[in-house]
Every structure is written in C-alpha cells, then in structure tokens.
Structure 1
Amino acid sequence: MKRKSWLVLMALVMAFGTLLAACGSGSSNTGTSGESGDGATAAQDLHINMSAEPPTFDPAQAKDSQTNTALRLMYEGLTRTGTDGNPVPGVAEKWDVSEDGLKYTFHLRDNAQWSNGEPVTAEDFAYAWERVLSPKTTPASEYAYQLYYIKNGQEFNEGKVKDFADVGVKVVDEKTLEVTLANPTSYWLGLTSFYTYYPVNKKNVEANAQWASKADTMITNGAFNLTTWTTGQELAWTKNAKYWDAASVKLNTVTASLVNSGATEFSSYQSGQLDYAGAPTGEIPTDQIPAAKQQYPDQFQAKGIASTYYYLFNLKEKPFNNLKIRQAFSMSINRQAIVDNVTLGGQIPAYGYVPPGIKGNTEEFRTEYKDSYFKEDAAKAKELLAEGMKEEGYTTLPEITLIYNSSEAHQKVALAIADMWKNNLGVSVKTQNQEWSVFLDNRQSGNYQIARAGWTADYNDPMTFLDMWMKGNGNNDAKYDNAEYDALLKDAQASQDNAKRMEDMSKAEKILVQDDMAMMPIYYYTSVSLVKPNLKGIVVDFSGAIDFTRAYFQ
C-alpha cells in the first residue's frame, strides 16, 4: 500500500474512533475514569441534576434541601459535617468549651479566605448571625429560631433586646469568636455546620443589596464558587483556589442541570450524561426503581434517613380546624399500601413524626418511644368525619384541594391518597401541583387546605423535628399553637437531664400527632440514588443531606 493511502486510511480510522467515543460517552467521566492503561487521568468534572432551582443563595433565607446542597458547595461554617455525621473543624481550626457548657471560644484558621482573597473573620460570623436574628431583616429568616440557643438570641429576634451587643456573640479579635449559649446544649456544635450559621462577607452584603442574585456578585468561602447560573437551565460551580483546604478538593467543576422530571433524570443517567441521580437533589421515578435495581445492582443505593414525609392541615381554616375531620383524613389511608405500591423505595409507614435514626437517651428515640400514636381504621374514620361535619354544621364538605410541589413522585402519592379518601370517606379531593418557590410561598403564607411537606433533620436530636411546631416558629406552616406542647419543649431545651429531655419530647410528640393530629404522617424516607462506580467521596449524612465537596473520580 502506498504511504499516502496508508496515512489517509489511518486518519479515517482515528476519526471514526473518535466519533464512536464521543457518541458513546455523554459524560467525560463515563468509561474513561481512573488511571487508564496509557496513563490517562479521569476528568474531575461532576454532573448532577437538581429537580428545582434553589429559591435563594442567601444563607439567611435558606430553608430547603436544594438550597442546602448548593450552599454546602459554596460556604463553610465554623464546623462542617464529617463522614460519620459528627462536626469536624471547618473555618474554626479548634475551639474551647467552658466547664458549664455555656461558652464556646472558636479559633479561626489564619488561612481561611473569601473567594476574593480577603480573610474570613470573626466579624463575618457575628454579622451573618445578626442578619438572621434581626427583626429588621426583610424578608425575615424562617430559620432564626436555630439561633435561639444563643443567649438572648430569641429576645433580640422578638425585639425584646434592642442591641445585638447584648446577644451572646462576641468578637474577641479578628480570628476569635466567643459564643455564650442560653442553656447547655449537647448538639449545638453540630448546628454550626448548618447553613443558617454560615458567615457572609459583610462588606459585600452591605455594598450590594442584590449580592445573592447573580453568580458574579457572590463572594463565598467554601470549596466551590458559583460560576454559571442560567435560570431554569443550569448551575455550575468551579473549584475555589482560595479555599483553605483546596488541596483536599479533587473535583474541578460541578454542573447541575435543572430538570423537574425523574424520567428525564434517569434517562440522562443511563446515557452517561449524569454521574449521580436521585435524592436529595433529584429523583428516580418510582415506577423505574425496579428497573434501576436490576440494571445497576452495584450503583443503586437505598438508605434509610432521618426524614419524614407528611401532609399539613391548615389548622386556622375550615374544615381542618376540626380535630375529628383531621383524624378522619389521617386514619382513612393505608400507609403500607403506599410504600409497597407507590413509592417502592423501602420507605417505612409513619405513625409519628420523629423518624428512625435520631438519637434518644441510650438508644434511638424511635426505639425507646414507639410511634403507635394512632391506628388506621377506615370505618372509625368515617364515623369521625360524620361527627366532625355535624359539629361544623356541614351536610357536605366544602371543596378541598391538596397542593404539592411539582414532582412525579409527589403526584403519585397525592393521587393514591386522594383515591383512598374517595373510597374510604366518600370525599373528593382535588390535587394541584405547583412550582417549588410558589408552593413554598403558599404553604408558608397559609394559602392552602392540605399541603405536602417533608422534614429532614438539621442535627441529631428529636428537637430538630419538634421545635418547628412551637408558636411563632418560622417553619410552623400549620400555625400550630398549643401552650402545653411549647412548655414541654422549653423544659427539654433548658434541661441537662437527657432522660427527662427525651420524656418531655415524647409527651410533646404525642400531643402533636395523637391528641391534636396537627399533621398527617405518611412515611419515613429512604434516600434512593444511582452513583457511578468510579465516583467516590460523596458524603450522605444520617439526615440524607449530601456533600459533594470531597467527591472525586477514581
């Protein structure tokens, strides 16, 4: 063969090979990861999907799982969550705790920097926490109560203490922060890794009221910087070279598509466009879970997490101001049938609010205190409905609508439950899906009759599930108000006797779920996901929250 013909043929072979590789990959990490035989190294670029765009990038306003995932990439608190779910040093390299457990002195790292190269200071934390607690902050932070553990934090938030200098947060010097708690709290240190406790760059926030609305105006201190924000389409983060522990961060980029379709997400994973699919950022369609298990037995993961799926009743509006009507709706559904035939992810039927996995006194809280607060009984439910309607003067119930945020999984649960209400109670309930931010606004403002909800632990103690129902709490979307309930939790918050704390919280949960049926528990979550076999280092903690900052391709 002539040399010229040989070169042409080789060029065609190479071009055809390149075309096949491009068509077959869909992701730079699929099929070429790790150290290959010819010495090639995996591209450290992670592709995920988020089923909803984070409603905010301001830690003071954060309140949902999508924002939690995004902010964990971008920020770091005094501590961060380790692989075992316990707090490890973050911006604070060490801390001292007084003998009475009230005073924490944090020593910040000298090399902790903002993404613009400025040092992260104790003042940045104090300023961020003041923003969360300040009654002048607009909109008010719904998570302000997470800082009530700090001395005078609640009083400042409620306007009873006017000067933040009287709150238990003291800037000793640029790298030393002293925090005094209202009561000794064994789990408080873990909260310092939560987004409400993240610092913000004081100069940047004060200079630009819209600082969190564009990628190029955000100054952050975490492992990644948000570099692309195409509304409704894509978010992308790039490794932050200024991060103090940049040497431990292996990924170069994290790119998230914004697609609210579990079917599309699963298909994208199958084609290699995604390296991770499923909870908590997205979802695998329930009807595809059996196929996912079969097709990817080594990549499919289903893990029980400290999270509860439930429905909220609007307690301030008819007809759900009536206890018997709430009881009828809750007792008339079949939870086991829902997890067996609808969700299909190994979920556990819920008859309480605090899920398995949360610490109790010596064992798990759910082991020490069983969730046997009520029983399903369709016949009894129908009697209760009739009694409740008579008390309210109804011959027929008014039109009832159940709202849920747009999701194939939520839709299927809603339709199944509405069908049970129809069959067991003779009540027709309209189901309505709403876009995530609209749904959150409607739920928070009380613009609903029944609304889907889910709660995931912020720290490992029953209090993270129960204090949200206290009067005035920013996350109390049902506007539940029971003085006995509040008193029990205040006692539990102030007590140093852990056994008594657990007893008080158990009594409070009984009031919430059994005596008042203020909410309708449905099931305890599992986290169902697919993870490429060469993707390592992802941390999913006991609550199901995910941290990609130390992930890498092997």
Structure 2
Amino acid sequence: MKMRKLLPFIATTAIATSVFGFAASADDFNITVNLASEPQTMDPQKNTTLDGGTMMLHLFEGLMTWEDSGEEQVGSDGTCDSSTLTYGQAESYDREENEDGTVSYTFHLRDGIKWSDGVPVTANDFAYAWRRLVDPNTAADYSYMIANVVNAQDIIDGKKDPSELGVEAVDDKTFKVTLSTDLAYFEELCAFPALMPVREDIIEANGDQWTYDVDTYVSNGPYKMTDWTHNSEIVVAKNDEYYGAEELGPDTITFKLMDDQNAMLSGFNSGELNFIEDVPQAEITSLVASGDLKILDYIGTYFVCFNNEQEPFDNPLVREAFTLAIDRTYIVEKVTQQGQVEAGGFVPYGVYDADGATGDDFRTVGGDYYAPTDADYEANCEKAKELLAEAGYPDGEGFPVVEYLYNTSEAHKAVAEALQFMWEDVLGVTVTLNNQEWVSFIDSRKKGDYSIARHGWIADYNDPMTFIDMWETGGGNNDAKYSNADYDALLDQIRGTMDQGERMKLMHEAEDLVIGQDYGVCPLYFYTQKYMLSDGIKGLHYTTLGYFFFGHTSAE
C-alpha cells in the first residue's frame, strides 16, 4: 500500500508524442504514479484499502475534502505539503443539539455541482450512499463507521430497513444527518471515501458491474475514469464538470498497477513513473542517504494478525508468547530501515488524546503493554517460553506447524523471514511462509483462511476510535476474528458519550483488553511513509492518514 524520479513528459514542440505513446500539446501535463497493484474494488462503499481510497479521493468528493495547507510536510525537503480539511461538495453546515439528546448536522451543498456526465449532484446522492453503506446487502466492511447515525446499528444488524437511517435529503441542496451521540471526528468522516456520494440510477441499473465500465463509472470529483486496463493501469482525466476544474494541474493521472519493487524503481529511474511508494528492500538505505527516498510521518501500525478462532491461536497464552518472542528493534533497524518506531501498543503515536492540548497523545498516555525494544528482549523471550509451556507446549513440543501469510513484496517477505526465525529460535516451533498476490491475500485474511497473517492499519481519521473499533465482534475489518463481550460493551459506552475525557478513558480500557489482556493482535512497529517524486514536480500534498493528492501538481 505504498512509492521515483525524472520529469513528467512535457512536450517541447507544438505537437509531440509522449513517452507513454500519445500525442500532447505543449501545454499538456500528465503524471504517472504507482500506489499498488490491481485494486480490490473501485466502489467507494466497498473499498477498504489505502491505494483504492487514494484513487477514489481523486474521482469522488464528499461533503468535506482535503486541500493543500501550503505548509511543508515534515521531512519532505520541500517536495510535499501537508493537507488540511475543508469544505468539499458542501459549502457550509449547521449543527443543532436536539431535545431528545441527538445532534443534527445540516449540510448545504454548493451551487452547480455535477456528476461527470453532467447530471446535478443532489442531497439524495449522499442519502443513498450512506444508506447503502449500512445496508447488509452491500456487505460493506466500513458499515460500522457511521454506527452513531440514528438507527445505523439496527440496520447493520438487520433489525431495521436502510430507509430508516438518520439521514435526509431535505431538498436537492440540503442533506441532514442525525447522530445519536456527537462525534469529535465527524467532519473527517465526511471526507472519507466510504461516505462519498454514488448514483442510485447507475447502481440500480448495473449492480456490482457499475465500476467496471468507464461509461457507468460516473464520479463527482476532480477527475473521471477514462480507462481501466486490469492489472496494468487506471487512467483518469480532468472532470470538466467539476466546480474546481480550472484549478487542476495534470490533464491526466495514470495509476500504474504494479507490485514488483524492482520494476517500480526501474520505471521511476527511466521516467515512466513520476511517483512511487515502494522500492526494493536492498535499495532503501542508499536511497534514504541520497535524499531520493523521502520519509514522512504516518499514523499507522504494522502488526501480526492471529486467527483468534482457530487452534492454537485461540489460546491467549500462545498469542502472548508469539508477541513477546519478537525483536522489534532488529526489525526496524536491520530489516525495514525507514525510521519506524517499535510498537508497544496498537494505537500509534500522533493520535489525539483528551490530554493532547498538553502535548500528550494516546500512545504516550497509554504507555507500553510490553517492553518493545531489544533492551528487554532477553527477558521477553524467557517469559514467552514460560507462557508457551503453560499453554501445554514446553520448548515447542507438540506445537502444530503453523503458516504465516503475507502479500507479495520484498519488504513483507523480509519481515516474514525475520519473524519465522525468531519464533522458531525462541519458542522451538515451526512456522512456514506463504505469500499471495494482493487481492487473494486480502480475501484469505478476511475469510479467516490463515493461522497468522501480516496486517497494517492506517488511521481513517485522527481519533483513537479508528483503531479501537476494528475489533468489535463481527466487525467488517476484524480479520483477527477477535471477540470479547466486555470489549463490545466498552465500544457501546464510547459511542454513547460526548465527554472527551471519558471517551479516552474507555478507549484506553478497550486497548487494555485487546492487547494487554487478550493479545488479540501483535503490534510490530508504527509506520513511516516513504515515497519518491520526479524532480521538478511541485504542488503534491499529503495527509498523515496516508493519502497523497496529485490533482494540483505542476512542473516547474
């Protein structure tokens, strides 16, 4: 889900042929980027991946959106700015506290907003999309994201009809949302891909196939899809119907679909690619040292996902033993080598806490659940052996052969091999490795067709809840199949209070359960974001949620 060099093609004569084989005028500016391989889906409500979300943020626009703050991103060397939240399809909103304790947000849509086929965007497009998100028939993994909207949870549970969701198209220009309890991060949710509007007439006529044909893939964002050559590229062009079309930079953005790091770097060095997020593992140290590979802050956690429903990882003693047997310092310093920080908990640094005004974030307040650095690794290993023996497998005797699943990538392979060695060396167990292509890997992990699997989670908004609510029993993104009734009860309490101090206290208690008590998943390190960008391109901006925005880039 992640990162090159040389100018994008700019014709030097009135008419010329670019390196990509098409004719261009002297004023044309086209950029080619690589985020990942073939996306799992291009349906806003069904997408769960960062690469898919980044593409959708260029194709669709929510009530709110992200814009260039004009402030240089930390570590960017002037090539990348930070992003700030602003109005998108809405031009304003009103907030009202109701007598029954609910809170309503009434959004007023911009004048003249249109879909890429020229049809006006209306409040009903948002109402339809939000209802579709919680409709069990959609099977959207992110349905829980708007559980605080009135009746949402009952709809998700099949107890009420999607038409009863607390959203309303008051008229074509007015969209109203009613929350059972207010959310501190509600504005950020309104910029999230899963809450982008979609067209009811298109989807009802074409079903799930609506995303596969550029004629039916109608979008309301700055760009529109003009070509999708599967396992090769997705090409998007300026959407002339977009209200801000005149301010856009690239005429086209080509998203190359690749997962071979050597090919990525080669493509960047040849000028075929202007932006990449990944490079061969062996090249990282030299590229960072030369300044060609940039490192940015990133709110996310790389972790190991145990299948909590299957033996032997249905036993918390086994999960804790596997967690403590890992030398995280070795992994970040010798394997990944990108400035990552060893993880002593699940929620990473940089996420707001109630004490954030004093400079403390959620991780700082919560502390570590185990000693994450190699200073205490020997003691961790001794305890891991004791735990495995207590679980009935002294020195690994009788422990079944288990498999670690990861998606094809040199970086993930290197981490997998390190984990395999540590678990075998410390615990005396046998761990085999299995890699799958991205889409197959996601499907296997989601179905629970694994024993141990690599995982990573990037914040969807800056609040601990984006990490905490993943592990609700039956949750769409709960690939660990973790289940704890006390944890679910805490989530209900968190969703039911507006008191920020109380929310944070409850979320710390929830993390105490999933990590400190049950060891439901095994955090390895907190992410950093790497990327390479062609010399001479300016206007790139980024949010620490992991999204890059190419729509306002230009060539110097």
TM-score scaled by structure 1?
0.89
Q: Any residues of structure 2 matched to 1:395-474 within 5 Å, and which?
A: 395-474=397-476
| Larger Rg over CA atoms | 1
Residue 370 of structure 1: CA displacement? 1.4
Question: Residue type of the partner of 1:70?
Answer: M
Q: Take 1:388 and 1:264, find their aligned partners in 2: how far apart are those partners?
A: 45
Q: Say yes or no: does 1:90 pair with 2:91.
A: no
Q: Helix, strand or coil: the match of 1:352? A: coil
Q: Take 2:282 and 2:524, find their aligned partners in 1: how far apart are those partners?
A: 19
Residue 437 of structure 1: CA displacement? 1.1
Q: Take 2:149 and 2:370, find their aligned partners in 1: how far apart are those partners?
A: 33
Quick one: structure 1 residues 468 and 25, their matched pair in 2 at CA, closer, same or farther if it must change by over 3 Å? closer
**From 344, 364, 368, the counterpart of 2:365:** 368
Residues 173-208 of structure 1, C-alpha deviations (whole Å, 9 max, x = no match): 011111101101111111011011010011111121
Q: Take 1:312 and 1:418, find their aligned partners in 2: how far apart are those partners?
A: 14
Residues 33-91 of structure 1, C-alpha deviations (whole Å, 9 max, x = no match): xxxxxxx9674211111321111111111111121111111100111123455431101
Q: Take 2:118 and 2:61, find their aligned partners in 1: how far apart are those partners?
A: 15
Please, which moves more after superposition, 311-320 or 128-137? 128-137
Does the 8 Å contact 2:34/2:258 carry over to 1? yes
Quick one: structure 1 residues 422 and 176, their matched pair in 2 at CA, closer, same or farther if it must change by over 3 Å? same
Q: Which residue does the alignment assign to 1:536?
A: 538
Question: Residue type of the partner of 1:471?
Answer: T
Q: Any residues of structure 2 matched to 1:55-74 within 5 Å, and which?
A: 55-74=40-59
Does the 8 Å contact 2:12/2:26 carry over to 1? no
Quick one: structure 1 residues 536 and 160, their matched pair in 2 at CA, closer, same or farther if it must change by over 3 Å? same
Q: Take 1:25 and 1:528, find their aligned partners in 2: how far apart are those partners?
A: 17
Q: Which has the higher contact order (CA 8 A, sep 6+)?
A: 2
Q: Percent identity?
A: 38
Residue 374 of structure 1: CA displacement? 5.2
Q: Which residue does the alignment assign to 1:128?
A: 129
Does the 8 Å contact 1:171/1:178 carry over to 2? yes
Q: Helix, strand or coil: the match of 1:222? A: coil
Write out the 4+ residue segments of structure 1 that deviate beyond 6 Å after TM superposition. none
Does the 8 Å contact 1:26/1:273 carry over to 2? no
Q: Take 1:266 and 1:292, find their aligned partners in 2: how far apart are those partners?
A: 11
Quick one: structure 1 residues 395 and 294, their matched pair in 2 at CA, closer, same or farther if it must change by over 3 Å? closer
Q: Helix, strand or coil: the match of 1:95? A: strand
Q: Take 1:272 and 1:291, find their aligned partners in 2: how far apart are those partners?
A: 20
Residue 372 of structure 1: CA displacement? 3.6
Q: Say yes or no: does 1:268 pair with 2:267.
A: yes
Q: Take 2:299 and 2:12, find their aligned partners in 1: how far apart are those partners?
A: 34
Q: Which residue does the alignment assign to 1:79?
A: 64
Q: Say yes or no: does 1:314 pair with 2:313.
A: no
Please, which moves more after superposition, 381-390 or 123-132? 381-390
Q: Helix, strand or coil: the match of 2:215? A: helix
Quick one: structure 1 residues 256 and 30, their matched pair in 2 at CA, closer, same or farther if it must change by over 3 Å? farther
Q: Any residues of structure 2 matched to 1:190-201 within 5 Å, and which?
A: 190-201=188-199
Residues 8-33 of structure 1, C-alpha deviations (whole Å, 9 max, x = no match): xxxxxxxxxxxxxxxx978415999x
Q: Helix, strand or coil: the match of 2:391? A: helix
Q: Which residue does the alignment assign to 2:200?
A: 202
Quick one: structure 1 residues 266 and 177, their matched pair in 2 at CA, closer, same or farther if it must change by over 3 Å? same
Q: Which residue does the alignment assign to 2:529?
A: 527
TM-score scaled by structure 2?
0.89
Q: Take 2:404 and 2:152, find their aligned partners in 1: how far apart are those partners?
A: 36
Q: Say yes or no: does 1:478 pair with 2:473.
A: no
Q: Which residue does the alignment assign to 2:392?
A: 389
Q: Any residues of structure 2 matched to 1:45-444 within 5 Å, and which?
A: 45-83=30-68, 85-99=83-97, 102-137=103-138, 140-162=139-161, 164-209=162-207, 210-278=209-277, 283-295=278-290, 297=291, 299-363=292-356, 364-373=361-370, 376=377, 377-390=380-393, 395-444=397-446
Q: Helix, strand or coil: the match of 1:82? A: strand
What is the Cα-based RMSD across aligned positions, in Å?
Answer: 2.1
**Structure 1: gaps (5+ residues):** 1-23, 33-39
Q: Which residue does the alignment assign to 2:22?
A: none
Q: Any residues of structure 2 matched to 1:492-503 within 5 Å, and which?
A: 492-503=494-505
Question: Residue type of the partner of 1:112?
Answer: I
What is the aligned length?
514
Does the 8 Å contact 1:78/1:192 carry over to 2? yes
Question: Residue type of the partner of 1:128?
Answer: A
Q: Take 2:200 and 2:442, find their aligned partners in 1: how far apart are those partners?
A: 28
Residues 338-393 of structure 1, C-alpha deviations (whole Å, 9 max, x = no match): 000000100001010101111111322122221344564112211211221359xx
Q: Helix, strand or coil: the match of 1:172? A: strand
Q: Which residue does the alignment assign to 2:78?
A: none
Q: Take 1:343 and 1:413, find their aligned partners in 2: how far apart are those partners?
A: 8
Q: Take 1:472 and 1:192, find their aligned partners in 2: how far apart are those partners?
A: 24
Q: Take 1:26 and 1:115, find their aligned partners in 2: how far apart are those partners?
A: 29
Quick one: structure 1 residues 302 and 117, their matched pair in 2 at CA, closer, same or farther if it must change by over 3 Å? same
Q: Helix, strand or coil: the match of 2:38? A: coil
Q: Which residue does the alignment assign to 1:551?
A: 553
Q: Take 2:479 and 2:289, find their aligned partners in 1: how far apart are those partners?
A: 40
Q: Which residue does the alignment assign to 1:9?
A: none
**Structure 2: gaps (5+ residues):** 14-24, 70-82
Question: Residue type of the partner of 1:389?
Answer: G
Q: Take 1:30 and 1:335, find their aligned partners in 2: how far apart are those partners?
A: 49
